[in-house]
Every structure is written in C-alpha cells, then in structure tokens.
A and B are shown apart, each in its own frame.
Chain A
Amino acid sequence: MIVTPKIFARLAAIVLLAVLLQLSFFSRVEFLHTSADILPLVVVSLGLLGGSMTGAVAGFSLGFFVDCLLIAPLGGSSLVLLGVGYLAGLFRERFEVQSALLPPLLCMGLTLLAEIGFAVVALTLGVDAPVSALVVRDMLLKSIFAFFLAWPVYFGIRRLLRPALVEESRVARRRQPTVLGT
C-alpha cells in the first residue's frame, strides 16, 4: 500500500468510524442473543489490502483506541488485533487473493481467532466469575456474522483505499479485432 498523508487520513477515519459504529451500533444490537464484532473484521480487511505492517499497526491502534474509550486495561485488545491484522497481511503477501469468496472466509476465520484471543487474554488476566459455555456460542456466532458483514466492510474499505492499492497484474481482456465491412 502506498501511504500518503491523504491515505493515512483515510485509514485514521476508517479506524475512528469502525470504533464508533461498534460501540454505538453493533454492540447494542443483538441477533440470536449475540452482537456482531466488526473490529477484527476491519483490521483483517486492512491487513488483506495493505499488508502485514498496515494490518499490525491498524490493529494496535484500533485496540488501543477501544480500550481508552471503554476504560478497559490497555494492551489486551491491541495485542489480539495486531496479531490478527498481521496474519491477514501475511496471507496477502504470500498468496494471491483471487476469489471474491476468500476475503469473507478469511474474515470469518480470523474473527474467530480474535475472539479466542480476547478470551485467552481475559482468562490470563483473571476472571472472577464462572464462565458459561454460552461464551463459545457467542464466539461462533460472531465469526458467522463477520462472514456476512465482510461483504460490505471489506469491499467498502477496498473502494475507499483504491488510490493507495498497488494494482495486481490483470488478465487483459482479449477483444476481437474490429474488421470493417464484416
């Protein structure tokens, strides 16, 4: 990704918008007793589009920002999201993303990994209450929601960052030569 000041501003705006949307909308709307979590989704999208560094830095920043707004212990969300963003970027650097189905599938898988990461961090820091098995249901549903939300989020972010994306070689369309009189 070519990061100019304008593109950096767009990235910052994407991070800010993602956090506001998550806290004010997605966290407060439940379906099947579970709310969607678009933060890992946004980080994975940025990683897939911008590479491992973009994904890692975006994940760290987004996690830090969320923890500041929620007055939660700093560092936990940053660690998980930077890991997920880095992995997404690493995938993009090693393999070609040709199928349109691949980004949503990756978003689903890495969101599940992120939710497991949040659980590991929380349990490591200490949880003073019994943990219900419904936490597993919550994680699985969040990853399924991420699959469906990836379509507007990933392709929306791609459109926003198009000026900065390094174009991959396209298969040139072969056109039939126009012959006059035929």
Chain B
Amino acid sequence: MYRKQVRRRRAVLTLLVIGSFLLLTITYGQSSGGLQRGVSTIFSPLQNVADRALKPARDLAGWFDKTFEARGENSRLEDELIVARRKAVAGQEALQENAELRKLVELNRGPALAESAYDPVTARVIGRSPTVWHSTVTIDIGRGDGVRVDDPVISGDGLVGLIASAQGGSAQVTLITDHTSAVSAKVVPVGVQGVLRPELGDPEDLVLDFIDSSKDLHRGQAVVTAGWRAQGLASLFPPGLPIGEVTSAPIVEQEASQQVHLRPYADIADLDLVQVLTGGSRS
C-alpha cells in the first residue's frame, strides 16, 4: 500500500515536471497565447477590485518606506533644484532664439512624429510582476479603449514602457527596466544617440549603449527618445519623450564600452497612473 502511494506520488510529480517543460517549450519566444489572454480577461476585474481595495494599505506601507528615504533624498533634491533653475533660465533664452530662427528659416515639421499625433489614454496600474526577471505591470485599460500592442506608455515624469499585450479591458506593459526592453534614445542637446538597456536588479540604473565615443557626455544631461525614421521603418516611440538624466559618464567607460549610465525620471518602482499613447502612425 505504501509502495503504491510512493509510486503514485512519483508519477504525479513526473507528470507535473514534464508538463512544465512542455509549457516552457511551447510558449518560449511566442507572444501571449489565447489561454493566457482569456485568463487575464477573466481575472482583470478581480485585479481591479483588489487594487482599489488595497490602495490604502499600499499607501500606508509606502509612507514608511518613503520616510526612511526622504532625508537622504532631500539634500540631493536641493542641489538638483539649483541646477534646474539655471537650466530653466537658459532654456527660456533658447526658446526665444528658436522661435526667431524658425521664422527666419520657415522650418517645415513635415511628417515628423509629435506627441500631439497620439491620443493619450490614462490608465491605472492594477498589478505588477513579483520578480526582477520580468518587469511588467498590468493596467486597467485594453483593446476596448483603443490600446494596441507596441503603444508607448508614459507617466507624468517620463517614459515607462511599451504595451506588450492587450485584452478587452486590460493590458500588460513591458517596462523599460525589463531585460527585453531596448529604446533608441539620444542625449540632448549634444544629440548623441544610443540604445537604452536596463541593468537587471537596479530599476534606477539604465545603460545607454553604443554611443559615439568621440563626443563627451557628462552628468546631468537629459536623455530623450530618438524617434528615428528611415526608409519606411520607424522607432516605436515618438521623438522627444523624456527618459532620464545621465548619472555617470566616466571618460574611460565612454571610450572603452561606449556607454553611460542614467537614472529614469519615472519612478518605475512606484507607478500608479500612466498614460498610453494610442493611435499615432507607425508606418
């Protein structure tokens, strides 16, 4: 009797392990299957309710965490404010000069993508992946609200990610901190372009790779989406979306590895409301 039980246990375990490997083999490298979309569609209303019900508890837990961090961040923010004020003044002067130059040159914006070509739809984050190996969030809008795969997603501070999958009333967003994420970006105002990749495990550190090492970059410079277009191909992101600022740009690293490090403007760890840039031409 005991041996029979042991054999049955081993058989069930073997079946489950084989089932897991089969699932991995079948779904590896493919986009979401009908079963996953179906399960997600059925349970997204529950996730929505759970998200709203648990918000007060999340805010309370977040208050404790933020209080510990606030002190250290205060002095850093004061320094940043001084630099930002100087830049704002310089920016005002540049804007005025730009307007005058445009009048002179009669610049034609043409078909270049602008944020106004998109229809932003606000969404609430209702779920988040538990591990660093898959940085995704679930939002409470989907195909019924005009959301489509590869729509850019932004927060009030900057770029957040890209729609990976959309169902009727919910969608999954691949964050810029996910290992599959790669965003073409440029450093302003120097114009150096590169590919933005995450550093897994550290959501506050992104790497701008494949940059032109002949141009010197330095700390504090802003990084935005490049939004390139060439021969019928186009970046998934419109140009000019703020991404972050350069935090570390040692000359040695720029020349040897052709990369710099930056910190994203968006608080990826604490997303609540985001906007999906629906519509827009991607041809």
Contact = CB atoms under 8 A, between A and B. Distances in A.
Given A24-B47, A128-B197, 7 more contacts: A23-B128, A37-B131, A69-B39, A73-B27, A122-B179, A129-B197, A133-B201
Contact of A53 (B12, B54, B200): B12
A72 B62 contact: no
Contacts of B200: 127, 129-132, 135
A24 B132 contact: no
Contact of B179 (A28, A56, A127): A127
Nearest to B25: A75
A115 B35 CA distance: 26
Nearest to B31: A71
Interface residues of B, number: 63
Interface string B108-136: 00000000000000000111111111101
B230 to A, nearest CB: 23
Contacts, number: 172
Interface in B178-214: 179-182, 197-202, 205, 207
Contacts of B51: 24
A138 B130 contact: no
Contacts of A119: 133
Interface of B: 9, 12-13, 16-17, 19-28, 32-33, 35-37, 39-40, 43, 46-47, 50-51, 54, 57-58, 61-62, 64-65, 125-134, 136, 138, 164-165, 172, 179-182, 197-202, 205, 207, 269-270
A105 interface: no
A60 interface: yes
A36 to B, nearest CB: 8
Given A27-B130, A128-B180, A75 B21 contact: yes
A122 to B, nearest CB: 4
Contacts of A132: 199-202, 205
A70 B134 contact: yes
B130 A74 contact: no
Interface stretch (A78-86, A94-102, A151-159, A171-179): A78-86
Contact of B201 (A30, A53, A75, A135): A135
A76 interface: yes
A63 B125 CA distance: 21
A128 B197 CA distance: 9
A71 B172 contact: yes
Interface residues of A, number: 57
Interface in A51-78: 52-53, 56-57, 60, 63-76, 78
A151 to B, nearest CB: 17
B141 to A, nearest CB: 15
A130 B23 contact: no
Count chain A CB atoms within 10 A of each CB in B43, B51, B128 and give the residue with the most. B128
Given A28-B58, A71-B136, A82-B17, A130 B199 contact: yes
Given A70-B138, A75-B21, A127-B179, A35 B130 contact: yes
Q: Which residue, of A63, A73, A115, has the highest number of chain B Cβ atoms within 10 A?
A: A73
A134 interface: yes
B134 A129 contact: no
A33 interface: yes
B164 A73 contact: no
A27 to B, nearest CB: 4
A68 B40 contact: yes
Given A56-B13, A60-B20, A79-B21, A22 B201 contact: no
Nearest to A115: B131
24 contacts: A23-B138, A25-B57, A30-B62, A56-B12, A57-B12, A65-B39, A68-B36, A69-B39, A69-B47, A70-B129, A73-B28, A74-B23, A75-B20, A76-B24, A78-B23, A82-B13, A86-B13, A118-B133, A122-B134, A125-B24, A131-B200, A131-B201, A132-B202, A138-B132
